[in-house]
Structure 1
Amino acid sequence: MDSAPPSYKGHRYAVEIIAHCVWLYFRFPLSFREVEELMLERGVLVSYETVRRWCAKFGQTYAGALRRRRPRPGDKWHLDEVFMKINGERKYLWRAVDADGTVLDILVQSRRDTAAARRFFRRLLKKTHTVPRVVVTDKLRSYSAAHREVMPSVEHRSHKGLNNRAENSHQPTRQRERAMKGFRSTGGAQRFLAAFSGISPHFRPRRHLMTAPGYRAEMTIRFAIWDQATGAAGA
């Protein structure tokens, strides 16, 4: 596993400031200008355009580093797709999570046909480097056709009621989409959501299943992992 932190060569701000701004933007429904204001309150002068560039440059890098530090995904995958409007056009956000709700991958596509499902299956296998025991989807026929082509040995359960895990995982994305008043391009949506789906869930443990001390201990661990992933721990 490549655990080397990203390079900050050429950046005059400390890694802690860069990582903190990226954390604020992807963890909370904030605009770049609001992140600028929060940093100003802390005595750090940084423009919203600089915050935007940091998020574009380091967002997916941080998300990838967090994913590499996660345990091996569970062997039961839940897949789902929802439509979203991007610049007035209907697109589809494909998402896969494991039984614990961990986001395995997302992909924004123009269609929800067999070719799109096949593309998402192959991307999942390549990105996770593993094959699931069970795949759970809704009743979209494209899943069945793509499943037979890409992973015929894997059990496929097609039932809308069994797929709440994947459907519920769309909620934070929907909340952020509303806060941002939508996305302007497919590429922009893919880049943002790829980073968002890797960073935001890292700081969203299932708090309702924890005691207050247990939650604080878990968050302490997760912040330590974040510092390792961003390179702030060794700064």
Structure 2
Amino acid sequence: MRAWFERRYLDVLGSIYIYNEHRGYTAIDRVIESVVKRSPDDVVLIARLQAHRADERKHYLMFRRWFERRGIMPFAVGRTFGHIDRFVEIMFGTPIARLKTQDVVESDRLFARLCRVIALTERRGYVQVETLLTNRIILSDPILTRIFSIIRKDEPSHWAPYEDWLDAYAQRGPIWWERIVDYVVHAELLFLKLPFLFLNPWARPRGRWPDEADRNAMSGDGLHNAPVPGGPA
């Protein structure tokens, strides 16, 4: 029973993470495209966003390889389990898939709001990973422990470009009610949605990997062959 509980917990956690990492880099693709159109000469910002995108995809692929090594697929979860999905929907009043990213980036006020959302989400992710790396169940899996250690190392560079943009354009940082929204979104995911998925006997595995639907999933970005830490190259 204990072994089943621990395996189920890791499967649920990995399924939520793989969804969020995929959502992260595909959403950043849209931001990069819009920033390039608005400010093609801002090569520093564009490069930092591209580095963030590359890390998110790297993290996604590490989780994918972790599942593949175990011979299973992650659970089929959607935007209900996405932190950034819920946060954007609250802050912009529309699902992230329907967010008009170009309009947001063209407006300093709206782009500042988006920068605050992303920065808060990334900082929240860092705190969560710190907590997970003290979790006995996580530490029992050396490869998963290594994955989360890499994420912890990468995370600070993810919120930095958005906070730096806010400073450079004299835009305010997050205020108390935005932090509360971030906390509530996280609490919903941790204390309501994760347990629901864990206890749901009808939860089914995905039929295919999320990146198989990406427009450029196999376009040779060089990251598809990234090895899982501890796994074969």
Question: Do Structure 1 and Structure 2 share a fold, with TM-score over 0.5?
Answer: no
> With CA pairs under 8 Å and 6+ residues apart, which has the higher RCO, 1 or 2?
2
Instruction: Give the TM-score taking structure 1 as reference length.
Output: 0.25
Instruction: Give the TM-score taking structure 2 as reference length.
Output: 0.25
Q: Which has the larger helix fraction?
A: 2
Q: Which has the larger radius of gyration?
A: 1
